[in-house]
Structure 1
Amino acid sequence: MFAGAVGGLIGNPSDIVNIRMQNDKTLPKEQQRNYKHAIDGLIKITKDEGVSALLKGLGPNLVRGVLMTASQVVSYDLFKSFLVKNFEFDPTTKTTHFTSSLFAGLVATTVCSPADVLKTRIMSSSGSKQSAVGILMNAVKTEGVGFMFRGWTPAFIRLGPHTILTFIALEQLRKYRIGM
């Protein structure tokens, strides 16, 4: 969980630039930021909004990092144990590792989706001083609870393979006792 929080902290500025660059073409011409590349985005944000703007959305990003790490690791171990005990999967095969990590990716995507949507809304805004709780309450009121799972499928398409590769690699490290 600590590693997830540290990752969220370190990656926050680049996450802001990434989100803004992805959303730029959806904005009216006069509101588009037109960052040339990530470094240009970091420079423009710092110059136009101040260094503190690079920490925008940090709270939800830290929560997301903690939730991501915890939900992946815990659910992977639970699914692996469940498959071994109830379906007689061999705990050493890649089939077991693949299946467990696929389910862990589903859990992690679902658990992290609300924090992901919230941090994206905060980071893509400029100049808004509304709190994360305020944004959350307004979105639930105007869009319903389902707004928290907007973009779930693309998030899983990205996170699913990442989770699978991570845990298959981890199991190989375990197998050969590398770093253990």
Structure 2
Amino acid sequence: MPQSYPFWLGGIGASMAACFTHPLDLTKVRMQSVEATAPNPSMISMVRTSYQKAGLRSLYVGLSASILRQMSYSLVRIGTYEEFKKRLQNRGNPSAATLLFAASIAGGIGGVAGNPADVILVRMTSDVLRPPEKQYKYRNAITGLMSLIKEEGVKGLARGLGTNTTRAVLMNTAQVGSYDFFKTSLLKTRVPVFDYQFKDNFFLHVVASLAAGTCGTTVTSPVDVIRTRIMGSNIKSSPVGVFLKSLREEGALFMFKGWTPAFIRLGPNTVLMFVFYEQLKRAWSATFH
């Protein structure tokens, strides 16, 4: 029988990973927020500019929103997927397609749960790109949520919900679902050149998570850029409108703005998230069972 763990354990693991990878997440959001009317900076120049202006602290702007996001979005998507997987395993040996479908459903639920925190995260991390009179100036995630509700009403919490949920479905399928797929496939694989058989250890987790990170970054990039631009604005706009305007002004490559920092973030983030998650599960089992 599959072992049972607290629903919130995945959120803790994801929050721990976010503390390490937040500067890359911040850089990705800022690169995606830059439109054709502004210079198109590289990832390195964006990091260097942020550091020169305000030091190391500038790379952790919005960390409170990032943790709030992980404790809503990731907590729900990982916890729901693990619950689905446990129930499917109780009935037999689920196929990869069934697990991927379960991951997509869990991702959609997580996207809805984490949408308010996502709005605050995008605004806090991209605020520096706006003129002073248009900046939100949220001190932290909680005051940001209060300001958002006060200025835009409860409906402001749902800004970009459609694109965010779509992204969450794609991300959870391509990251969490494909991680299980790659992990299972690699365990059956022997590398003939080195005569190496994969085992369930740290090296396997790194390889599987990097493969999952590549899938997740590429599949979700177009939706991620549109989501970032909708959430960062206080003007009502539709995903289709943002897509057509960006495509007309910037060309098709706008859909992959911020891909490099997104990939550099998602690979280590996936590794750290699952490593922390596995260690938390072991600690829980050792303590309470």
Please state which band the TM-score falls in when normalised by the shorter chain.
0.7 to 0.9
Give 1:142's aligned residue.
Answer: 249
Change (3 A) 1:74 1:41: closer
Cα distance in 2 for partners of 1:120, 1:76 equals: 25
Mapped contact 1:56–1:123 kept (Cα < 8 A): yes
* 1:19-30 correspondence to structure 2 within 5 Å: 19-30=122-133
Match for residue 221 of structure 2 among 97, 109, 113: 113
Distance in 1, matches of 2:116 and 2:280, equals 32
Structure with the larger RCO, 1 or 2 (CA within 8 Å, 6+ apart): 2
- Show CA shifts across 1:101-146 (max 9, x none): 11111111111111111111000000x2221011111111111111
What's the TM-score, normalizing by structure 1? 0.85
Using a 3 Å threshold, how does the CA distance of structure 1 residues 145 and 171 change in structure 2: closer, same or farther? same
Question: In the superposition, relative to structure 1, how do residues 92 and 35 fare at CA in structure 2: closer, same or farther (>3 Å)?
Answer: closer
Question: Normalising by the residue count of structure 2, what TM-score does the alignment of the two structures yield?
Answer: 0.55
In the alignment, the residues of structure 1 paired with residue 219 and residue 135 of structure 2 have an alpha-carbon distance, to the nearest angstrom, of 31
Measured in 2, the distance between the counterparts of 1:174 and 1:129 equals: 43
RMSD: 2.4
**Pairwise CA distance, 1:76:** 2.6
What is the CA deviation profile of residues 117-176 of structure 1, one whole-angstrom value per residue up to 9, with x for unaligned ones?
1111000000x222101111111111111111111122223221221234456777999x
| SS of match in other structure, 1:67 | helix
Matched to 1:4, the amino acid is G
Cα 1:76/1:89, change in 2 over 3 Å: farther
Identity of aligned residues (%): 48
Q: CA-to-partner distance for each residue in 1:62-117, whole Å, 9 max, x for gaps? A: 11111111112343344341573362532433322321111111111111111111
2:197 is equivalent to residue 94 of structure 1: no
**2:173 aligned with 1:65, yes or no?**
no
Q: Report what 1:36 is aligned to.
A: 139
- What does residue 84 of structure 1 align with? 188
Contact 2:217 2:262 in 1 (8 A): yes
Q: Secondary structure at the match of 2:197?
A: coil
Q: Shift of residue 7 of structure 1?
A: 1.6
> Contact 1:16/1:124 (CA < 8 Å) preserved in 2?
yes
Residue 236 of structure 2: SS of its match in structure 1?
coil
